[in-house]
Structures are given as C-alpha cells and as structure tokens.
C-alpha cells in the first residue's frame, strides 16, 4: 500500500525482544537494563496475526530483529510460521551472530533468505570491549557457515570515532574473498549513542579511496534499499554505505516497525505509532486490526528529524526499538 506521501510500504521490521546477550557500548547500558517481562511482549501468535494482516496490505518483506532475536525462545519456529503467510515473499534476520552458527540449518529450512550480521571489530580484545560480552570467533564462524549455506550475507558495521576507524580497510578487504556485502552504517543519536561520535560515511569513503588502489566504480543499489555501493576490482562482495545522518533517504523509505511490546512504529526517529498489543488483547477482529494497521502506515511521517529538535523524538534505546 502507499502512504500519504505516495511511498510504497512493503517492508516490516519485527523486533521480537529487547533483550540481548551482548551490551554494545553505543546501544545499551552495561548494567541495570530493564527488559520487558514475557507477558509484556507480543506472543508468537500475536506477531503472526499482525504480519498476516500487514501482508494483506502489501507487506512482502519481513526482517526479524531485536535486541538479539536469537535469544527469544521459539524464534526459529516463528520465522517458519511467518514465512508461510500468504504474500510474504522474503524473510530475513538481523543478528549479532553469537548464537547463529548452530541455528542456521534450521533457519534456512524454515525459509530464511538472508542474514545481516552486526560486527564492529575483527579483533578479539576490541570486539569484547565494544560488546562487553562477546567473542568474535563465534561471529566469524557464523559468517562462514551462512555463506556456505548459500543465503545472502551482509555485515553491518558502525564506525565510531576513537574506537574502530583503523579497521575500515580490514572490513573492506573481507569483500575480496568472501561472498558478502559489508555495509557501513552511520551512528544515529538514539539512546545511549548520544554519548558517542560516529564517523560520517563520506569520511569512511575517503579513507577507502586513499587506501584502495584497485577501487572500482559505484554500483547503484539495485535492491531498492537505503545503501549505496562500491566494489573493489575483482572482489566477490560489495561495500555499502547507509548514511541515515548525512544523506536522508526518507523519500524512498518503504518500511514500518513492530516493537517487541507491540507498538507499530512509523519511523525510527519518532515515538509515533499505535499500540497493537492493547487492541489485540481486547479481542480485535482481523478486519479491524487490518484497518488500524492501514491507518498507521498511511500516516507515516515524511522524514526523520534527527538533526533537529522535536517533541516526539524517540527516547528509547536501540535494543528497545529494534535496530
Ligand atoms: N542485536 C542485533 C544486532 O546487533 O544485529 C539486532 C539489533 S541491533 C539494535 C541492530 C543494529 O543496530 C546493529 O547493527 C547495531 O550496530 C545497530 N545500532 C545500534 N545502535 C545504533 C545507533 N545508535 N545508530 C546506528 N546503528 C545502531
Ligand atoms: Fe545487542 Fe545488537 Fe544492541 Fe549490540 S547492537 S547490544 S547486539 S541489540
């Protein structure tokens, strides 16, 4: 369906939990994080119903995210159930990769088309510092296994000043030998991230230009997503740039988000949306549920205002919204 600005909205990001097995420094506090209780989160059946009605409105692609989606019990089956909904053509997962390797066979069997794995450092000591809890070998093993299973694999990397700028070329060079796209994602000033300084993608690209002699032309993004891409000469994968801060892609935005507590969110930046959990638990029928979703999608704001003040600015942390 189209929203009031004529954008085709066909992509739903479903965050299935705010909990996580890591504590990345720009995403969560180290201690005293308050997580939703089980009954505060949508059940599998409630998520299924929301996706089913959304599919009737034209949602074709679903991404499961979090928090860390793989810490939610039963998520592998939930992915299979969502994949079976009429109209859903593609289902993807965004994960930190820590628990991924062991689940991949079943995920692929259940219809998973691809995986975005977040990884900000290839060095064990730094990875452990950045995530406060993780070991990079688990993630690297998951990347190789996902490639071997033939699904689409993208790495999402956030470059933060004074932390991992020196690893930009290490990430770029991964695309030479591996069938993966590496995408640099600009840090957004959400939640605890306001305490960190991201590196603009223009600077990342300049570093690549200086250091990669076999740099090849920009390949325009064919998939309709927000990334723009380049490719090193002869490389198997591409290098992408998702520049939400320096280059707003809102006019092509095709997505809405469902938070773990059942709030259908129109835009990452705003607290606008609708509380679907309440109406689901009041016994709403499918027709009415579809109408509520329709109205919410239709009303999607024109663009984010990260760089401006707004009384409706989202104050939650990224793990609570769903990245
Ligand atoms: N736990 C999963 C993971 O790490 O992939 C899924 C959720 S996580 C919130 C999704 C993505 O959001 C990660 O790639 C993470 O680096 C990114 N992220 C978290 N906080 C961010 C911020 N303030 N700005 C930009 N990206 C952020
Ligand atoms: Fe967890 Fe992902 Fe946030 Fe890291 S970025 S703390 S892995 S939700």
**Which domains are seen in the chain, by residue range?**
11-320 (3.20.20.70)
> How far is residue 155 from each of residues 64, 191, 227, measured CA to CA in Å?
16, 23, 12
Q: Which tokens belong to 265?
A: 């969110």
* pLDDT value at 224 more than 70: no
250 — pLDDT class (breaks 50, 70, 90):
confident
Res 253: pLDDT: 87
Q: Which residues contact 34 (CB under 8 A, 6 or more apart)?
A: none
Residues with CB under 6 A from ligand 1: 20, 26-27, 65-66, 68, 94-96, 118, 156, 158, 185, 187-188, 190, 193, 318-319, 323
Q: Which tokens belong to 71?
A: 């810490």
Across 8-12, 25-29, 221-225, least confident range? 221-225
* pLDDT value at 301 more than 90: no
The number of the ligand nearest the C-alpha atom of 142 reads 1
The number of the ligand nearest the C-alpha atom of 70 reads 1
| Nearest alpha carbon to residue 120 among 110, 102, 109, 132 | 132
Q: Which residues contact 181 (CB under 8 A, 6 or more apart)?
A: 153, 154, 155, 175, 227, 229, 237, 238, 239, 240
Res 173: pLDDT: 95
Q: Looking at the chain, list the stretches that DSSP marks H as alpha helix, in order from N- to C-terminal side.
A: 44-56, 75-83, 100-109, 124-131, 136-148, 168-177, 201-211, 276-281, 286-298, 318-321
User: Among residues of the chain, what percentage have pLDDT more than 70?
Assistant: 91
Phi, psi of 156 (to 5 degrees): -105, 120
- Give the Å distance between the CA of 112 and the centre of ligand 1: 20
């Amino acid at each position: 369906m189209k929203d009031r600005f004529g954008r085709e909205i066909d992509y739903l990001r479903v965050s299935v939990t705010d909990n996580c097995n890591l504590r990345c420094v720009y995403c969560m506090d180290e201690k005293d994080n308050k997580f939703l209780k089980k009954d505060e989160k949508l059940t599998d059946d409630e998520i299924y119903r929301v996706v089913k009605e959304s599919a009737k409105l034209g949602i074709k692609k679903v991404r499961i995210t979090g928090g860390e989606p793989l810490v939610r019990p039963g998520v592998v089956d939930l992915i299979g159930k969502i994949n079976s909904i009429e109209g859903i053509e593609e289902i993807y997962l965004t994960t930190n990769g820590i628990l991924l390797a062991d689940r991949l066979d079943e995920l692929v069997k259940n219809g998973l088309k691809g995986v975005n794995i977040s990884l900000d450092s290839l060095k064990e000591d730094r990875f452990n510092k950045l995530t406060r809890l993780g070991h990079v070998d688990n993630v690297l093993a998951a990347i190789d296994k996902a490639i071997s299973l033939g699904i689409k694999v993208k790495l999402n990397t956030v470059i933060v000043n004074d932390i991992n700028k020196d690893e930009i070329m290490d990430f770029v060079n991964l695309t030479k030998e591996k069938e993966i796209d590496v995408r640099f994602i600009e840090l957004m000033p959400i939640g605890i991230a306001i305490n960190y300084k991201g590196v603009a993608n223009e600077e990342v690209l300049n570093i690549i230009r200086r250091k990669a002699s076999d740099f090849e032309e920009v390949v325009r993004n064919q998939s309709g997503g927000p990334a723009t891409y380049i490719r090193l000469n002869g490389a198997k994968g591409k290098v992408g740039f998702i520049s939400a801060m320096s280059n707003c892609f809102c006019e092509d935005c095709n997505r809405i988000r469902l938070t773990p507590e059942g709030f259908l969110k129109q835009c990452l930046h705003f607290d606008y949306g609708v509380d679907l959990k309440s109406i689901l638990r009041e016994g709403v029928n499918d027709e009415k549920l579809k109408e509520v979703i329709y109205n919410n999608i239709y009303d999607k704001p024109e663009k984010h205002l990260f760089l401006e003040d707004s009384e409706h600015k989202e104050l939650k942390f990224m793990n609570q919204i769903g990245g």
